[in-house]
């Protein structure tokens, strides 16, 4: 029933921009703690590989210092934070906030002197926090489409016809895969009209589907691919009923 998880292409982003800043998790939010060194190390390594933005908040300052994780020690619970050019951390407690897949990740560290590496004023060595607060932001749990069952989404993007494999589905949306050379025009924010889902022997007509995020990855069999996370924005009662039926068939075969 489960599909093989593709390996992400290590495409490191450029320095974070002001619009990449992420607000802290509200105190009233329901979170869970990530506490093991292995889990924290895996999360930090993924953030470092992609160069994802880290927002760093200091007491009394609503505007964050921006940076990203430069590297993670493969054996010790240590990592190096890379600050944006001209940025600095003041002594004391700092709250770090970032996004990881479909979750928001937050942790706190404190130092009387954020000493950078010799000759590298923007690179600050740090030790793993004892815990990271994780806020899952996905409203609906997604079910992976089963192996051996044809699940596709067909739609027209401009004058180009697409029929892409569906990787998973939830009551709120789907994710699709395609090769990078077929992804022209399939960008974040694009709304796809009149999408027809073929989920095994069930056909579901979707009036509108919005692309919410894209992520490159490499498949050993297919090479460079693009993962498209999409949200249903206009569902009829009939479509809702069929989606729930498909989810029930996947989770209770």
Digit-coded pLDDT (tens) for 38-66: 889 989 998 998 899 999 999 988 899 99
- 180-218 residue pLDDT tens: 888 888 888 899 999 999 999 999 999 999 998 787 777
Q: Clarify whether residues 126 and 173 are in a common domain.
A: no
Nearest to 188 by CA among 154, 219, 214: 214
Task: Classify residue 2: in a domain, yes or no.
Answer: no
Q: Clarify whether residues 85 and 14 are in a common domain.
A: yes
Q: Would you call 180 helix, strand, or coil by DSSP?
A: helix
Q: How many domains does the chain have?
A: 2
CATH number of the structural domain spanning residue 179: 2.40.10.220
Domain of residue 172: give its range.
143-251
The confidence score (pLDDT) of residue 217 equals: 75
Per-residue pLDDT in tens (0 to 9) along the chain, 253 residues:
222 333 334 457 789 999 899 999 988 888 889 999 988 998 999 899 889 999 999 998 889 999 999 999 988 999 999 999 999 999 999 999 998 866 899 999 999 999 999 999 999 999 999 999 998 765 566 788 888 889 999 998 888 899 999 988 988 899 898 888 888 888 888 999 999 999 999 999 999 999 987 877 777 667 788 888 898 988 899 999 999 999 988 877 6
Last residue of one domain, picked from the residues 136, 158, 180: 136
Task: Classify residue 1: in a domain, yes or no.
Answer: no
The confidence score (pLDDT) of residue 11 equals: 56
Q: What long-range pairs does 245-250 form, CB within 8 A, spacing at least 24?
A: 245/202, 246/169, 246/199, 246/200, 246/202, 246/204, 247/143, 247/169, 247/170, 247/171, 249/200, 249/202, 250/1, 250/143, 250/144, 250/145, 250/146, 250/169
What is the distance between the alpha carbons of residues 36 and 18, in angstroms, rounded to a whole number? 31
Q: Clarify whether residues 59 and 17 are in a common domain.
A: yes
- Asked if residues 12 and 49 have their Cβ atoms less than 8 Å apart, the reply is yes
- Asked if residues 136 and 162 have their Cβ atoms less than 8 Å apart, the reply is no
Location of structure tokens 């210092």 = 65
Gyration radius (Cα) of the chain, Å: 21
E strand segments, 180-247 = 191-199, 202-219, 223-234
Cβ neighbourhood burial of 95 (10 Å; 0-12, 13-18, 19+): middle
Task: Classify residue 197: in a domain, yes or no.
Answer: yes
């Amino acid at each position: 029933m489960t599909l093989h998880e593709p390996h992400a292409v290590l495409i490191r982003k450029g320095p974070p921009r002001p619009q990449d800043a992420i607000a802290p998790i509200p105190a009233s939010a329901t979170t869970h703690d990530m506490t093991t060194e292995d889990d924290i190390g895996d999360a930090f390594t993924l953030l470092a590989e992609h160069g994802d933005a880290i927002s760093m908040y200091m007491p009394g300052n609503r505007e964050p210092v921006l940076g990203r994780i430069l590297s993670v020690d493969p054996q010790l619970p240590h990592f190096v934070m890379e600050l944006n050019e001209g940025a600095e951390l003041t002594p004391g407690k700092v709250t770090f906030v970032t996004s990881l897949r479909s979750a928001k990740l937050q942790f706190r560290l404190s130092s009387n002197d954020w000493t950078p590496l010799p000759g590298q004023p923007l690179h600050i060595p740090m030790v793993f926090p004892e815990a990271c607060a994780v806020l899952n932001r996905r409203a609906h749990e997604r079910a992976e489409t089963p192996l051996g069952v044809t699940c596709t989404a067909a739609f027209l993007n401009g004058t180009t016809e697409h029929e892409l494999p569906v990787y998973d589905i939830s009551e709120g949306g789907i994710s699709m895969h395609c090769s990078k050379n077929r992804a022209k025009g399939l960008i974040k924010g694009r709304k796809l009209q009149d999408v027809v889902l073929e989920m095994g022997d069930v056909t579901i007509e979707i009036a509108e589907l919005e692309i919410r995020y894209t992520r490159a990855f490499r498949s050993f069999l297919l090479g460079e691919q693009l993962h498209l996370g999409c949200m249903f924005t206009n569902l009829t009662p009939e479509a809702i009923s069929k989606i729930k039926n498909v989810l029930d068939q996947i989770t209770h075969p």
